[in-house]
Amino acid sequence: MEIDEITTAVRQGLIPAYLYNDAEVHELERSRLFGRSWNFLAHESEIAEPNDYVVRNIGDDSFLVTRDSDGQVHVMFNMCVHRGMQVCRAERGSARTFRCPYHAWTYKNDGQLAGLPFHADAYGGDAGFIKEGQALLDAPSVAVRNGMIFASLDPDSPDFEYWLGDFAFYLDFYTGQSAAGMEFRGPQRWRVEANWKIGAENFMGDSYHTPHTHASVVDIELFGEPRPYKRKEGVLWHAGPGGGTTYKLPAGSEFRSGLAYVGYPDEMIDAMEAKLSPAQRALAAEPGFMPSASTLFPNLSFVHNWPQTDADGRITPFISVRLWQPVGPGETEVYSWFCVAADAPDDYKAASYKAYLMCFGSSGMFEQDDVENWVSITTMARGSMARNLLLNNRMGLTLDGDPIVDQFERFGGPGTAYQGFGEHNQRHWFSMWADFVSQPAPAHEPLAFGMGEQPE
């Protein structure tokens, strides 16, 4: 199929099965999608102190995310401007300078070139190469919200807040719980033989799979909410470049009682009451919904659940932030962070981390259930028969495309919401995917040699 045929099909909710394991599609995503969307890199709490750094990727591009000696955050392409060696190969650490392993060109942690061996002998000093002003390449566009650091490889990318749109309303439920900010712990990092799109669209709002895929979690009474009637009472929503699911809180819940129901202690409810807007607080009051899983396009997902964490029946919520980093058409590197309010009580942090480990992360029960499905889909997508199959992604539509389920007007949050089962959000995600992969990657002029004027 040509790309125009593919995008026409996916906009109708018909997914060519081989999209989940195809080298040509992967290349289009690398250049056209990840080459110009906004992508999550790190949280400021991961580089809390001056000179801290982490190394993260957008597609095939490696970036140094640093806090320099003055406390300023920088995002720089991790490639020496001399001969192209990766400058830093450690995943994280603390350093005032970075020295290229190849020829020992050395850069400060703000990216500026600090020195190169034998400058006078090899170059004739500044007559041959002017060191001043030379630096690692900055990411073309960088933005920070709630301590989360995003970057785009496209210098003409839209303003990040404009891109985020109404999704910002929901993002605050995960990463804006306290004026003290959030702590990101991790990430746990592992690889699965699954296509990255499956995780992204699953967290976008697949409430249909939870009563079946995660039945064992209900059977052992770890988490009761995935029961079918609970999922049908919840709402699927999409807004801006994202979407997700909610659970219905008990009838008559107010903001405080709703948060207490899912296990938040009074100190944290106080902090959220002060930090969230009246409209955000109202979402958990009347008619009473609590955000659960969601995805910010293209590949950043969130999960908010509240399992039982001890034999006495204590319920404790947790938040996980996860990145589906494509390695190849049939392989994904998963980054999974535990996220918690920085000023949360210590006993709550410990219980919440335990809840996270039980459910998600590399050994979590939900995680194991999901990955078994995703690996199977990716394996099946590799065969020749998958090229003859259009997968049905049309739940919630009649045969002629009219909605079966009306929009849920009493939801209370921005965007479009539906109560019950449906694949509205997956179609929304794939529509955005089609917008990107159908448009040629932007052409940018190459930068001048050495990122500055040099003598001929």
Same topology for domains 43-145 and 166-437, yes or no? no
Cα 339 from Cα 352, distance rounded (Å): 9
Number of C-alpha atoms within 13 angstroms, CB side, residue 335?
A: 23
Whole-model pTM: value is 0.94
Domain over 166-437 is classified CATH 3.40.50.920: no
Looking at residue 449, its pLDDT comes to 42
Q: Where are the domains of the chain?
A: 43-145, 166-437
Distances in Å between the alpha carbon of 65 and those of 95, 100, 148, 160?
12, 16, 12, 18
User: How many other CB atoms sit within 10 Å of the CB of residue 90?
Assistant: 10
Q: Output the pLDDT for position 294.
A: 98
pLDDT in tens, 327-356: 999 999 999 999 999 999 999 999 999 999
Q: What pLDDT shows up at residue 226?
A: 57
Helix (H) and strand (E) counts for the chain? 15, 20
pLDDT bin (cut points 50, 70, 90) of residue 211 is confident
State the pLDDT at residue 444. Answer: 60
Which stretch of 288-292, 360-364, 377-381 has the lowest confidence by average pLDDT?
360-364
Measured in Å, how far apart are the chain's first and last C-alpha atoms? 49
Residue-level pLDDT at 448: 42
43-145: CATH homologous superfamily? Rieske [2Fe-2S] iron-sulphur domain (2.102.10.10)
Q: What is the DSSP letter of 125?
A: G
Band (227; pLDDT cuts 50, 70, 90) = low
State the Cα–Cα distance between residues 219 and 374, nearest whole angstrom: 22
Closest alpha carbon to 147 in 32, 65, 92: 65
How is residue 66 annotated by DSSP?
Answer: E
User: Does residue 453 have a pLDDT over 50?
Assistant: no
Estimate to the nearest angstrom the gap between the alpha carbon of 125 and the chain centroid: 46
Instruction: Assess whether pLDDT exceeds 90 at residue 218.
Output: no
| Beta-bridge partner residues of 67 | 73
Percent of the chain past pLDDT 90, that is, above it, reads 83
The whole-chain average pLDDT of the chain stands at 93
Q: Could you give the angle at the alpha carbon of 347 between the alpha carbons of 341 and 351, nearest 5°?
A: 80
- Return the pLDDT at 230: 65
Point out the least confidently predicted range of 9-18, 307-316, 371-380.
307-316
pLDDT at 450: 42
Q: Which helix (H) or strand (E) holds 58?
A: strand 52-58
Alpha helical stretches, state H, 185-263: 196-205, 210-213, 215-219, 228-233, 255-261
Tell me what pLDDT residue 387 has: 96
pLDDT at 121: 94
